[in-house]
Amino acid sequence: FATDLIQKTPMGEFSGSPTIVWISNKLDYPIKIESTTLQGNVVMIYKNIKEKRYQTQSFQLPSDYEKITMPMMMPGMSNQ
């Protein structure tokens, strides 16, 4: 998948440690993330991505579903 490369430097505990994100243009989703933490390097890669169509009823929300907002770990990432 073709990707856009984004580099962010998060604030807080990992301040100064850049995170590099490869976002798939087609999927609009990160397919590779590289970061450095106090414990060492972290790399997350999605492999063997298969695009499939599923029937809508396979994804029915439960009746007690509640949408929540997660705090942003990396400000500005959603604007990309």
Model confidence at 57, pLDDT cuts 50, 70, 90, reads confident
Range of the structural domain that residue 8 is part of: 1-49
- Give me the pLDDT at residue 79, please: 44
**Number of independent structural domains in the chain:** 1
Tell me, yes or no, whether 18 lies in a domain.
yes
Q: Is the pTM of this model over 0.85?
A: no
Comparing 19 with 78, the larger pLDDT belongs to: 19
Residue 61 pairs in a beta bridge with none
CA separation (Å) from 53 to 50, 56, 79? Answer: 10, 9, 27
Tell me, yes or no, whether 21 lies in a domain.
yes
pLDDT at 64 over 80: yes
Comparing 33 with 75, the larger pLDDT belongs to: 33
